[in-house]
Amino acid sequence: MKVCNFEPKNESRNSVTSRSAMRRRLRRRNRRVEKLQSRNDHLQQRVHELEKRLSNANSQLENAQAQLLQRSSIEQPMMDHRIECEKPLPGHQFGVTLIAAAIELARRVGFRAAADVIAILFDLLNVDMKVPSHDAIEQWTLRLGVASLQDTFTKEDRVLWMSDHSSQIGKEKVLLIIGIALDDLPISGETLCLEKMRVLAIVPGESWKKEDVEREYQKLAERIGPPVYLLCDGAVELREPAEKLGKNGQKTIVLGDLKHHAANVLEKEIGRDERFQSFMSQVGLTRNRVQQTELSHFAPPPIKQKSRFMNLGSLLNWASMVLHHLDDPGSDSRTGVSDQRMEEKLGWLRDFADDVANWNQCQVVIDRSLEVINREGLAHETAEVVRCSLTNHDANWNRGSSSASRIGLQLIQWIGDSSSRLNAGERAWLSTEILESLFGRFKQLERQHSKGGFTRLIAALPTLCVRLSDEAVRRGFARVHSPQLSKWITIKSTARQLLIVGLTCESLAVLGH
């Protein structure tokens, strides 16, 4: 019987199974390889991004290190020269930098506030040192002020003086004389600044007659020589004594202040007009009627009777503003104000609308003329510059016979007459606004003391014209010590206040300094 052999068949089946399994395994491996390849590509991209970020971070770190190194090289010397490390001035508890900073602060915010500011800064900056008292800061300022009166001019200098007297509550007035070298006058287009001025004399007194002013002029002229030009506001007691000054047969040229002259011209032009007087009467009544009502924000500005024509611009601006709101019932300023109340209290201005417009034209002529003088000074061509300025603003300003045209022509004529008195090739000035600014800053320095008479603080006034620096403080303190300051300040008892008597440089000469 034949036996069948099934082995080849099984081998064939096993071979087919093995090849199929291999193919499956191969596919699984291929898929795994693809996944691994994809993951590898992703990781390589991630590595590239991280390398890029690391490079940027390294670059930023290098820049930061360079900046830190540069800053440390700058700040280290500053740290080495902190106020607390500075040696005190001889005879003082504080260094010159702190003293100069304290005086500068006092000029801006007052003595007590300056001490408070320094205390706050020391606390914030962890400065471990004593804070100067307001009394010390005041004493430093007075010493520097008295010392700066010596740093003025010589008899060889060509100088312009400005003089005026200011009064506060009480009978006392102070005659103030300041000066500037003609070579230091600002170039065309710039105005005067206090740092270029020098305080020459501060003389308080109860009465200033011509002979009193002449005496002070002569004392100052004997010390530093007479001025080439003297500028004052036109007061007789200031102007006539100046006409007696001179040197080598050449008399001092006395010039007037354009602002005061323009106020006089304006007063003559409109001050006697019945319409203007009626307008001013209504302004006074309106202020009393509205200042404690819902219309208080429409109250007219206060007007000083003595100088009202020098400050008429603010009143005319107020009138123009109110007329605008009268014609605009929907304006925000009329919120909460009924039409009836508006007309009842302010409607009278409608009757003066044309007058206000005319008076405004007069004020514009004055303002533009003053603007030229304050920007250009006084030269031989200044009158023509003023004329061109007025024409550029209004080509028809001098046509017809309006008040504005008459005022403008008078101002141009006056400026021309003033410039014709100048020496050949020289410039001068025709405005005392810098002097008025000095008085204003001094009242700010006095704070509450400005409500009384002049006090010992008047010795600090010259510091307002000083360019403060460490060297200026050193020079000033070397000239005037506390004992000398006490000699300078002669106290005279009055019923109201303590006055300083004779704060002029000749007093220091008498003391032997």
What are the structural domain ranges in the chain?
A: 262-420
pLDDT at 249: 83
pLDDT level of residue 506 (50, 70, 90 thresholds)? very low
Asked if pLDDT for residue 494 goes beyond 60, the answer is no
The residues that bridge with 204 in the sheet, in sequence order, are: 174
Helix (H, G, I), strand (E, B) or coil at 162: strand
| Cβ–Cβ under 8 Å, residues 462 and 508 | no
pLDDT at position 171, please?
66
Distance CA 276, CA 242 (A): 36
Q: Which residue has the tokens 């693809």?
A: 34
List pLDDT tens digits, range 212-240: 899 999 999 999 999 999 999 888 999 99
Q: What percent of the chain has pLDDT over 70?
A: 87
Task: Give percent above pLDDT 90 in the chain.
Answer: 51
What would the mean pLDDT of 325-351 be, rounded to a whole number? 91
Output the DSSP codes for 145-209: HHHHTTSS--TTS-EEEEEEEEE-SSS-EEEEEEEEEGGGSPPTT----GGG-EEEEEEEES---
Beta bridge partners of 230: 161, 254
294, 341 contact by CB (below 8 A)? yes
Residue 15 one-letter amino acid:
S
Biggest alpha carbon–alpha carbon distance for the chain: 172
- Give the residue-averaged pLDDT of 307-325: 91
Q: What is the DSSP letter of 87?
A: P
The residue behind tokens 């000035």 is 429
pLDDT of residue 510: 43
Q: What's the mean pLDDT when you consider all of the chain?
A: 85
In this structure, are residues 435 and 465 in contact, taking their beta carbons and an 8 Å threshold?
no
Q: Are 460 and 145 in contact (CB under 8 A)?
A: yes
C-alpha 222: how far from its chain's center?
A: 35
**264 CB-side CA count, 13 A:** 12
Q: Alpha-carbon distance 511 to 505, whole Å? A: 10
CA distance 448 to 60: 56
Spacing of C-alpha 449 from chain mean position: 22
Q: What is the mean pLDDT of residues 313-341?
A: 92
Tell me: the pLDDT tens digits for 175-210?
899 999 999 999 888 899 999 999 999 888 777 889
8 Å CB contact between 489 and 511: no
Q: How far apart are CA 299 and CA 293, in angstroms?
A: 10
